[in-house]
Amino acid sequence: MKIVDWKVADDKKNIRDGAIELRASVSENLYVKLFETPEKAKFQVKNDRTFWRRKCIEKLELLNSSPISGKILEIGAGSGWCSALLSKKSEINHIDVLDYDKYSVTELMPLVFKNLDANTAKLTGVIGSYNDIKAEDNHYDYIISVGAIHHSENLDETFKECERVLKPGGFLIAIEHCHPNSYTKQQEINDNESLLSAERVKNLYGDANLKIKAKDNSDHNYRISEFEASAYKAGLNILPYIFEKGGEDADDDIFKNPKPYRGFTNRTFKPYFAKNNLAPVFDNLLVICQKTAVADSSIFKDINASPVKVGTKRTFLQKATAKIKRMLFS
């Protein structure tokens, strides 16, 4: 596997002091053990959480009505298990697998790729920041983030950079945890300052005596609206899928026939594709963004408006007719 260095230091302003070292510690103390043999690695990519995340990526293929293909960038890749599995897909030509922790890229990823039988000819490990992607504009067909973007110190910068390197019509998919828009600033401060339990610290970092706050590892408690606002400011169309146990009954039709909403009313769906529906393990937010493309190739349709051809204007009478139809039949 080829490894390249995109100079993390160039993005120091967007990386919390000590965060890279903590990430390396997690890789050395936890992830290496989880993936150290082929048997363990294959078991790891079948657990409840990984099963959910794999299924989320498959839903993008339903939404776009085509397989994931072309050039891929995985950001905040950690162990790289997702890229290892994607590398086996014939439609994918190449994957840049990015993380800002050198140990993860140079030591952990090669181990994971080997034990998951990845097609390493397609994979390049990248030491770098997803706020400073060393690729030309319009380069990638897809960007994938598996539980990584909530570590961003600057969501606006992250989405802006992803938009820049995506091809027109290309997709960013981010599988995340998030908070409702009612989550207050005081709650956020309290959560950020809280200490991780000794048991969790031991599991992650190998030393139960360490005093690690939630914010030390750049774990941010972003609200749904913050993801939406940053994507919008970057010029991306965004379709967030929010999951909770008490959400709407759902099946794959929510991806085959997406229904964007207006205003601040977010639809929530039951995690129907969790591995264990009786005790589902899931991330509550699936963000799907698409870079602006020609109108007829976009998955984002305004279901509340009458269809209008690009480059044409409706007359006053046409506008009035459309409004009356909406009033009568909505």
pLDDT of residue 306: 39
Q: What is the pLDDT of residue 314?
A: 54
The chain-wide mean pLDDT, for the chain, equals 89
Structure confidence by residue, pLDDT tens digits, 110-149: 999 999 999 999 999 999 999 999 999 999 999 999 999 9
Segment 165-186, tens digit of pLDDT: 999 999 999 999 989 889 999 9
Q: Flag whether pLDDT at 295 surpasses 70.
A: no
pLDDT of residue 220 exceeding 80: yes
pLDDT band at 102, cuts 50/70/90?
very high
Task: State whether residue 315 is helix, strand or coil.
Answer: coil
pLDDT at 327: 62
Tell me, letter by letter, the H, E, C secondary structure of 181-199.
CCCCHHHHHHHHHCECCHH
More confident residue, 37 or 258: 37
DSSP structure class, residue 37: S
* pLDDT value at residue 272: 97
- Does pLDDT of 285 surpass 90? yes
pLDDT for 68 equals 96
Banded pLDDT at 156 (limits 50, 70, 90): very high
Residue 78 banded pLDDT, cuts 50, 70, 90: very high
pLDDT higher than 80, residue 193: yes
The number of residues making up the chain comes to 330
Measured at the alpha carbon of residue 88, what is the angle toward residues 61 and 6, in degrees to the nearest 5?
Answer: 90
Most confident of 12-16, 74-78, 262-266, 310-314: 74-78
Q: Of 124 and 267, which is predicted with more confidence?
A: 124
Tokens describing residue 12: 């120091």
> Across residues 141-167, what is the average pLDDT?
96
Distances (CA, A) of 87 to 29, 35, 67, 172, 208: 26, 17, 13, 18, 37
Between strands 166-176 and 285-291, the pairing is antiparallel
